[in-house]
Amino acid sequence: MTLGATTVDSVATPVGAAPSSTVGKREAGSGARHRNVQLLDRFELESGEVLRDVKQAYFLDGNLNEARDNLVVVFHALTGSADAVGDWWRDVVGPDRAIDTKRYAVLCTNLLGSCYGTTGPSDPARRPFPEVTTRDMARLVGQLVETLDVPSVALVIGGSLGGMVAMEFAAIYPTLARNVVVLAAPAEHPASAIAWSHIQRRAIAAAGDDGLEIARMIAMMTYRTAGELADRFGRETHDAGGFAVESYLSRQGEKLRARFDVHTYLTLLDAMDSHDVGRGRGGVASALRLVNGRIIGVGIPGDLLYDPLVDVRGWTEAAAAEYREIESPKGHDGFLLEGEQVSLLLREVLEGTATATATYDYRPGAVGGSADGHGQPSKKSSRNGTQLKNGESSREARADVVILGYGRIGRELARQLDNVAERSGVRVAAVIDRSGFVLDPDGLSGTRLETLARSKESGIPLAEAPSGVGGTASEALASLRRFKLSRPILVDLTASDTTPELEEAIVGGMDVVLANKRPLADVRDATRGLVCHAAAHGRRVLHEATVGAGLPLLDTISKLQESGDEVLAIEGCPSGTLGYLFGEIGRGIPFSIALRAAMVIGYTEPDPRDDLSGMDVARKALILAQLLGYGGTLDEVEVESLVPEELRSVSVAEFLARIEELDPVWRQRVAGVRASGRVLLYRATVTAESVRVGLVAVGALSSFAALTGTDNQFAITTTRYMANPILISGPGAGVAVTAAGVLNDVLKLARWR
């Protein structure tokens, strides 16, 4: 055989002579699609072992243009085939599809080691089959592309295993591809995915071909989400007995066993586990930063196999690539099942390279980001290519915000959102209070929001405002679902247990930003149930402002953990209210006067016992503890209340009338601490095993002793920062500060989406 020789259904044909394209079948008046097979005498693997008489099956749909620069290379996933057009991606690739075979020549091969026409272990004579890698797969396709004599490739794309091979292809041929899109795939196979592979291998080792069915069922539980299975099957039973979801999984296993080869499955699992694009190249950043073309990594919120932030966004940041997301309640398989969203992204990518006069405002984190992929400003265009007016956002670039709780923080947040609306593409679509809501699906203007704010400050509820509608928060969310809001974000600024409403919003497709601590610290959510619920439905919950207002506390903890550091303990004074109060009584101000002043300034809840009870600090401490792996509930937090037993059950009015009774107690207590050269504080101490909040007396040299006003401070002890913990200090209370913390989370979600 000679290198590059190709057969088409056993009939010789030159490489690159593309047959006419139809969608997987022969049509009247058109040519038929044929699978091609390239034959090679030898192919050397990364391991140094040489394969002889190698076959590579592929489809080449569409025709190369005169410049031969319109080639698109598509890579399939674990059990896929070369037939993207006629089989597994027909909604995305084909005539008049996003990858239009009337405009592009589309090459899709069956990967090395697979069982749909390319050399692999499905041939008994080939066993034992040598280890192959994603790099081997990319090189085999690369030499086929070279025989097509193309100066550049318009697009290289793949999902899951196909995404790993696409990444390798880009690294091997860094000047060849103008665009690389990697869907739901890591730069190096993570430990969790390797663990899933191991379980599948053990199933196959124990049960042979029957084990392939079990392995498929195991894999399906990483490809889909709990939310999708609950919505699709619930607890329904099957006619033949058992639960419907059991029948579904069994059928998936049976179908794969009927069409796939168990030896192939094991070979491809090994290839995925060995995947590391930075291997031998100085790391991921070095491997991918050399690529001349634009690289886009696409994550799927709720993906149980490859975490979008850790396994996808992480490598895009390292490689200075773009990060996008597609939304799917189905999880990992979203790249196969969400054809409309994938198509939208690919049309933008391909139009951006095919039309020299048009550039697009691709915002990182959304389906749409910066034109050069590095966040630089660019001329904005709409989907049909018409230029948008200054400040106008296309629907896909916009995020609609719904504010739940239109008190002081809600009104300030609305003002801050209005200030950044033009440059951020974020706008307020609705505001909700206890009486009802005001909604405008085209966005509430700054003037309208300010009018509503003045009305609220005058004591007029939203239900009584012009266009206001009476109803509960749940009824308001139901009304919102009648409108197709763009990438909606629900912001909860209440102090109530809104967990049912938030779960309802998540199921309805909304991301959530919280300043409200109760849904995270409530007993029902002791294991971060709301966050898990959101992940199962492909949604996100951000809650930086629940602890420390606008301080970057939770983000810092997350980054430490992502880097492999272990957070051992957190000590903190997370209450601006109590910080102010103890600062005042430490200066000799009577307790009653200091508390009333805090109420006037707006530092306390309407019932200041909510602050003095320590429960607000306890909820914040529990949220921090959950990040460290603490599995307890709010009831298990050790809390020291500052409210005497006899004043806990009286009315607010009576409590306020009697707070002077507490002045002598606090005067004596503060004097005793001061006499020993210490300072009295209310502090939280958090580990993975225990949570305590209460009074402590610290030495004058402690960093905590220097706190003034409403400042918060947190000391984070980790395995790397043990002798000198990380200190984070700053304002921890105040309307503007808290609203700014919430705004940051909103903008972060808008960029991610």
Average pLDDT, the chain: 85
Contact of 129 with 263, CB cutoff 8 Å: yes
Amino acid at 97: R
Its sign, for the CA torsion 530, 532, 534, 540, is positive
Angle at 271 between CA 266 and CA 276, to 5 degrees: 150
Tokens read off for 500: 């049912």
DSSP for residue 188: B
DSSP output for 3-52: TTEEEETTEE--TT-PPPP-SSS--TTSPPP--EEEEEEEEE-TTS-EEE
So what's the pLDDT on residue 442?
A: 86
Tokens read off for 574: 């997370």
So what's the pLDDT on residue 528?
A: 56
User: Choosing from 136, 303, 311, 525, which is the catalytic residue?
Assistant: 303
User: Choosing from 76, 189, 263, 332, which is the catalytic residue?
Assistant: 332
Contact of 184 with 160, CB cutoff 8 Å: yes
Segment 58-73 mean pLDDT: 95
Tokens read off for 673: 């601490």
192-273 fold? Rna Polymerase Sigma Factor; Chain: A (1.10.1740)
Q: In a 3-state reduction of DSSP, which class is residue 141?
A: helix
So what's the pLDDT on residue 125?
A: 93
Q: What's the length of the chain? A: 753
More confident residue, 405 or 26: 405
Torsion of CA 443, 446, 449, 454, to 10 degrees: -170
Active site residue 160: yes
Confidence check: pLDDT of 648 > 60:
yes
Q: At how many degrees (to 10) do helices 499-507 and 473-480 cross?
A: 10
Distance CA 210, CA 202 (A): 12
- 673 backbone dihedrals φ, ψ, rounded to 5°: -70, -45
So what's the pLDDT on residue 264?
A: 97
Segment 668-696 mean pLDDT: 92
Confidence check: pLDDT of 28 > 50:
no
Confidence check: pLDDT of 27 > 60:
no
Segment 11-33 mean pLDDT: 35
**Chain segment 11-21, per-residue pLDDT in tens:** 333 333 332 22
Q: Which residues contact 574 (CB under 8 A, 6 or more apart)?
A: 547, 548, 617, 620, 621, 684, 712, 714, 732
Which is it for strands 179-183 and 294-299: parallel, antiparallel or unpaired? parallel
Segment 60-75 mean pLDDT: 96
- If one counts every other C-beta atom within 10 angstroms of the C-beta of residue 745, the result is 26
So what's the pLDDT on residue 552?
A: 87
Its sign, for the CA torsion 78, 80, 81, 85, is negative
Torsion-angle region of 467 (φ positive above 0: left; ψ -120 to 50: alpha; else: beta) = left
* Residue from 574, 609, 584 nearest 709 by CA: 584
Q: In a 3-state reduction of DSSP, which class is residue 728?
A: strand
Confidence check: pLDDT of 608 > 60:
yes
Contact of 549 with 523, CB cutoff 8 Å: no
So what's the pLDDT on residue 522?
A: 65
Confidence check: pLDDT of 83 > 90:
yes
So what's the pLDDT on residue 334?
A: 95
Q: In a 3-state reduction of DSSP, which class is residue 694?
A: strand
Confidence check: pLDDT of 270 > 90:
yes
So what's the pLDDT on residue 371?
A: 30
Tokens read off for 366: 């959304």
Amino acid at 445: S
Tokens read off for 278: 């930075």
Active site residue 286: no
Confidence band of 752 (pLDDT split at 50, 70, 90): low
Confidence band of 45 (pLDDT split at 50, 70, 90): very high
Segment 240-252 mean pLDDT: 92
Confidence check: pLDDT of 390 > 80:
no
Distance CA 147, CA 157 (A): 20
Confidence check: pLDDT of 43 > 90:
yes
Token pair 């060995």 is found at 274
Q: Which residues contact 66 (CB under 8 A, 6 or more apart)?
A: none
Q: Where are the domains of the chain?
A: 5-190+277-354, 192-273, 398-549+740-752, 555-733
**Chain segment 155-210, per-residue pLDDT in tens:** 999 999 999 999 999 999 998 999 999 999 999 999 999 999 999 999 999 998 89
Active site residue 332: yes
What are the distances in angstroms from CA 455 to CA 406, 432, 446, 449, 734? 11, 14, 14, 10, 21
Q: What is the CA radius of gyration of the chain?
A: 30
* Residue from 737, 732, 749 nearest 547 by CA: 732
CATH architecture of the region 555-733: 2-Layer Sandwich (3.30)
DSSP output for 260-313: S-HHHHHHHHHHHHT-BTTTTTTSHHHHHHT--SEEEEEE-TT-SSS-IIIIII
Confidence band of 124 (pLDDT split at 50, 70, 90): very high
What are the distances in angstroms from CA 15 to CA 59, 74, 235? 11, 17, 53
DSSP for residue 430: E
Weakest mean pLDDT among 18-27, 248-257, 736-745: 18-27
5-190+277-354 fold? Rossmann fold (3.40.50)
192-273 and 555-733 agree in CATH topology: no
- HSE (side-chain half, CA atoms, 13 Å) at 68: 11
**Chain segment 303-351, per-residue pLDDT in tens:** 999 999 999 999 998 898 999 999 999 999 999 999 999 999 999 999 8
So what's the pLDDT on residue 275?
A: 97
Confidence band of 357 (pLDDT split at 50, 70, 90): very low
- 617 backbone dihedrals φ, ψ, rounded to 5°: -65, -40
So what's the pLDDT on residue 164?
A: 98
So what's the pLDDT on residue 533?
A: 77
Confidence check: pLDDT of 4 > 80:
no
Confidence check: pLDDT of 356 > 70:
no
* Residue from 673, 717, 468 nearest 570 by CA: 717
So what's the pLDDT on residue 32?
A: 59
**Chain segment 365-374, per-residue pLDDT in tens:** 333 333 333 3
Tokens read off for 277: 């694009």
Confidence check: pLDDT of 9 > 80:
no
Query: What is the per-residue burial (b if ≥16 Cβ within 10 Å, else e) of 409-446?
Result: bbbbbbebbbeebeebbbbbbbbbbebbbbbbeebbeb
Amino acid at 176: L
What are the distances in angstroms from CA 596 to CA 342, 601, 695? 57, 9, 21
* Residue from 448, 517, 413 nearest 746 by CA: 413
Weakest mean pLDDT among 536-540, 561-565, 744-748: 536-540
More confident residue, 55 or 525: 55
Confidence check: pLDDT of 2 > 60:
no
So what's the pLDDT on residue 160?
A: 98
Segment 650-654 mean pLDDT: 93
* Residue from 463, 652, 510, 628 nearest 558 by CA: 628
Tokens read off for 160: 């899951």
CATH architecture of the region 398-549+740-752: 3-Layer(aba) Sandwich (3.40)
User: Choosing from 81, 160, 381, 729, which is the catalytic residue?
Assistant: 160
* Residues above pLDDT 90, as percent of the chain: 62
Confidence band of 49 (pLDDT split at 50, 70, 90): very high
